């Protein structure tokens, strides 16, 4: 093997190793406490709350994308569904991985969904100790892990935040979080075919993205872990772009967003 090739390969592998170490270090000790020292998030922090809630939110987006993939042959819709499922499944894995790194449970049964949004920037719940224990929280949908029981049931249970308006996005009765579909919504999507399935998927995903954008904007303001804030900013940009795309796709089908 060429010596120059070996040296180049070694340099690339070393760079990848440093990048991985930097990412882990940022996620595990990148937040700052009141004295400016690195501190791992606690179980009641905005960082942990966002990771848990957005993981559940993402799981439903993946589920809806898998459903519509089998209900239409339209390549534009199938391509969008694939992109959403792939992106959000990867992001979900990152967020659940951070909870593991922080030693925090993936499911917090004693905390209502979106409770972290009430956390002020100056009291983000950070501490030097780890809150809570490790949760197994295995979800049953599409091999995903760490889902709440409500999400695994298709968000059919009514949330304590039902009807609550967050950034102009309301949590409707029967949904777990802002923008999420209800059990009935998912049943209708599963029963629809062709153009009807395409329109309903685009409408449901539009609501879903609006809720996701509001949640991600909340993390940008409240979360204190730099790598998590960066992920949230990326979510806002990507989902706003997809909202524009879905509005165009609905117009092409003679339809419009439901809200």
- Report percent pLDDT > 70 for the chain: 66
CATH architecture type of domain 45-107+142-259: Up-down Bundle (1.20)
Report CA Rg, the chain. 20
Residues 6 or more apart in contact with residue 206 via CB below 8 angstroms: 243, 246, 247, 250, 257, 258
pLDDT value, residue 121: 56
The closest alpha carbon to 66, from 56, 76, 54, 80, belongs to 80
15 vs 244: CA distance, rounded Å = 37
**Domain segments of the chain as ranges:** 45-107+142-259
pLDDT given for residue 38 in this prediction: 61
Residue 110 has pLDDT above 50, yes or no: yes
What's the pTM? 0.73
User: pLDDT tier at 19 (50, 70, 90 boundaries)?
Assistant: very low
Confidence of residue 166 (pLDDT cuts 50, 70, 90): low
Note the pLDDT of residue 151: 41
* Statement: residue 8 has pLDDT above 80: no
Q: CA-CA distance, 149 to 129, in Å (whole number)?
A: 27
Is a pLDDT exceeding 50 seen at residue 4? no
The predicted-structure confidence for 175-234, as pLDDT tens digits, reads as follows 899 999 999 999 999 999 999 999 999 999 999 999 999 999 999 999 999 999 999 999
Cα separation, 135 vs 161, whole angstroms: 23
Of the ranges 114-123, 150-159, 227-236, which one carries the lowest mean pLDDT score? 150-159
Asked whether the predicted pLDDT for residue 53 surpasses 90, the reply is yes
Residue 130 has pLDDT above 50, yes or no: no
- pLDDT tens per residue, range 58-86: 999 999 999 999 999 999 999 999 999 99
The CA distances from residue 169 to 16, 54, 84, 118, in Å, are 40, 15, 20, 15
Q: Is 110 exposed, middle or buried (0-12, 13-18, 19+ CB in 10 A)?
A: exposed
């Amino acid at each position: 093997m060429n010596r120059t090739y070996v040296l180049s390969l070694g340099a690339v592998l070393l760079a990848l190793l440093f990048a991985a170490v930097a990412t882990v270090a940022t996620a595990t000790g990148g937040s700052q406490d009141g004295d400016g020292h690195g501190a791992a998030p606690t179980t009641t922090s905005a960082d942990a709350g966002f990771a848990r809630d957005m993981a559940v939110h993402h799981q439903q987006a993946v589920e809806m994308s898998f459903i519509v993939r089998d209900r239409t042959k339209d390549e534009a819709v199938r391509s969008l569904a694939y992109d959403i499922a792939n992106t959000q499944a990867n992001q979900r894995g990152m967020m659940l991985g951070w909870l593991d790194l922080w030693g925090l449970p993936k499911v917090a049964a004693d905390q209502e969904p979106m409770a972290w949004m009430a956390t002020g920037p100056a009291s983000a719940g950070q501490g030097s100790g780890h809150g809570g224990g490790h949760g197994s929280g295995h979800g049953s949908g599409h091999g995903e892990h760490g889902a709440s029981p409500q999400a695994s049931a298709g968000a059919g249970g009514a949330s304590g935040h039902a009807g609550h308006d967050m950034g102009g996005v309301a949590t409707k009765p029967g949904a777990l979080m802002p923008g999420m579909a209800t059990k009935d919504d998912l049943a209708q999507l599963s029963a629809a075919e062709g153009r009807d399935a395409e329109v309903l998927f685009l409408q449901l995903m539009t609501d879903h993205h609006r809720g996701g954008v509001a949640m991600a904007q909340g993390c940008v303001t409240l979360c204190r872990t730099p790598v998590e804030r960066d992920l949230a900013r990326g979510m806002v940009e990507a989902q706003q772009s997809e909202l524009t795309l879905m509005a165009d796709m609905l117009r092409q089908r003679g339809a419009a967003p439901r809200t």
